[in-house]
Amino acid sequence: MSEHYFPRARLPSLMRERTQVIPNDVSEGLIVTQRAKHSAHVVTIGEAICLNLQLYTAENVEHALAVSDACILHDVGHPPFGHKGESVLNEILNGYGGDFNHGDFAPEEARRQGRSDLTVLLLEAKRDEEVQVAKIVHDWADDISWTTVDLEEGVRLGYLDFNQEGIENLGIVQEAVKLAEELPIYRHGEKYSSTWNLWLITDKLSNVLIDSIVFKPKNIDQKVPKLSNGTVLNGSFLMVEPVNSELIVLKEVLLNEFYAHHLINDFFHQVPEIIKVVFENRIRNFGLVSESPLEIAEAVCLEICSLTELELVLEYQNLTGKTVELCKAPLREVPVNPGSEILAEMFRFDL
């Protein structure tokens, strides 16, 4: 993607308008997770992993700080409708001899904000020894965040059932439930039917996964990850078994039961047409004079990236006269936002 047009891409503030799974503006008033919240969650998890692994040392602190910076910026390039939107834009640009990758935007934004060279290297996803520590921790943090948050959202909105065998029987979930039940604010008797309990359980699941990541040194006497000459990790990270295997199973449940749910697919089947209609209209009316069709196509794709999902849908509807079906959830009643419940409990507010 041409760097010349990068400033025309959406600002990081638009991450509040991007959602993890279910489009917010085009849903039936559902309370869903924005990418801004996800990125902040990834930062929290990444910092917790760094603390657990004792990475905040004089030798390693620059890498730990790069983790935080990369975690907050890693999703800055997501277009409307997330990975589905990205695949459509990539298909469009393939026809012009180019490609679209949301990961190209984060390094540019890091440079614009004056972040460290390590952060830029990390976001460029290069297999560079200099950032291998930060890259490993960042990837674990991202995985733990989207897995636990999507699990909570999928169950809360009725796409998933916590009682199904693929979830409830996992040891990591049982451990998380046990830890949540030990909290004085856990609502016994309600179990998974309570939005409050769901939030507590998935929060504890994050802790279980974070605590399972360990450092295996090459030197048996070494206890703390140490970077030789500030670059090479003297050892390796791993997630202990059976936690790692169970995390893989949980991801497969999310993939097959949540992301592939027919109500979500019914909406996302409309996305390719929405984006392509808007693209074709904009490229016909684009004011840039250029000898390169690819350059113009890239600029139009960046304009689309600057739109919210609702703006994109409304533009499509105005161009075609068609009505876009809203994204629906299996539950008829929308549960209370768990964040609101927590504040009410902490400060004794009346909902």
Q: Which amino acid is at 265?
A: N
Predicted local confidence at residue 106, as pLDDT: 86
Query: What tokens appear for 220 in the block?
Result: 């048996």
Predicted local confidence at residue 181, as pLDDT: 94
Q: Please, what are the averages of pLDDT over each run of 10 residues along the chain (351 residues)?
A: 43 60 66 78 91 80 85 85 92 94 86 88 70 80 93 89 84 95 90 85 95 75 54 67 92 91 90 96 80 88 86 94 84 50 41 31
Q: Assign residue 49 the CATH number of its domain.
A: 1.10.3210.10
196 vs 58: CA distance, rounded Å? 40
Dihedral of alpha carbons 319, 323, 324, 327, sign: positive
> Which DSSP letter does residue 327 get?
B
Measured CA to CA in angstroms, residue 205 lies from 147, 148, 178 at distances of: 10, 7, 10
17 in Cβ contact with 309 (< 8 Å): yes
Q: What is the value of pTM for the model shown?
A: 0.82
Predicted local confidence at residue 210, as pLDDT: 94
Predicted local confidence at residue 17, as pLDDT: 63
Predicted local confidence at residue 218, as pLDDT: 63
CA distance from start to end of the chain: 47
* Structural domain of 182: 3-347
User: What's the total number of domains in the chain?
Assistant: 1
